Amino acid sequence: MKGNEKLIERLNDLLSDEMTAINQYMVHAEMAQNWGYQALHKLIRDRAVTEMKHMDALIERILFLEGRPIVSRLKEIRIAAEVPGMFQNDLGLEMGAVRAYNEAVKLAVEVGDNATKDLLEKILRDEDAHVDEIEGSQDRIQQMGLQVYLSTQTEKKG
């Protein structure tokens, strides 16, 4: 099915965002693992896996719309040297994703592509959950202090 070119372009931009997030999250996850924060490693790695699923869904949709997925374009990856900075950088990615997916949903509605709209709304719910997760971690750091928070991250959860 030949899709709307502007929408395919937007999907490719979202694909770039997802690939950027995957790279940033995987580095942050491995840094947490290296520092001995197994629970934090799992939390960030699980977020990266969700982004990988988003990437896969976007590629599938672009191909279905007879577009060409562009997988060679990354945006700026922001690696932090400490845990609070990781959360701040990751929150920036997720807030940008929420804005971008909301805009893409509007475009899908404008061009009458409800199947793409449904996919984008599903991904948007995941991105909203990521914002909530990161803000929750930031709140715990603020309430407990960084050292106490990090002491809770040394054992693998789940």
**What CA dihedral angle connects 11, 17, 20 and 25, to 10 degrees?**
-120
Question: The pTM is what?
Answer: 0.94
**Tens digit of pLDDT per residue, the chain (158 long)?**
899 999 999 999 999 999 999 999 999 999 999 999 999 999 999 999 999 999 999 999 999 999 999 999 999 999 999 999 999 999 999 999 999 999 999 999 999 999 999 999 999 999 999 999 999 999 999 999 999 999 999 976 55
How many angstroms separate the CA atoms of 67 and 53, rounded? 19
Q: Let me know if residue 61 belongs to a domain.
A: yes
Q: What is the pLDDT of residue 155?
A: 76
Q: Is 29 inside any structural domain?
A: yes
CA distance 62 to 60: 6
Full domain range(s) for residue 41:
5-151
Q: Outline where 35-145 has alpha helix (H).
A: 38-64, 83-110, 114-144
Q: Report how far apart the first and last C-alpha atoms of the chain are (Å, whole number).
A: 42
Report if residue 158 sits inside a domain: no
Residue 120 within any structural domain of the chain: yes
The answer as to whether 156 is a domain residue is: no
Number of domains comprising the chain: 1
Give the CATH number for residue 62. 1.20.1260.10
Structure tokens at 113: 């592509």
Identity of the residue numbered 88:
Q
Residue 135 neighbours by CB under 8 Å, 6+ apart = 91
- Give me the phi and psi of 154, to 5 degrees please: -85, -15
Instruction: With respect to residue 127, please indicate whether it lies within any of the assigned structural domains.
Output: yes
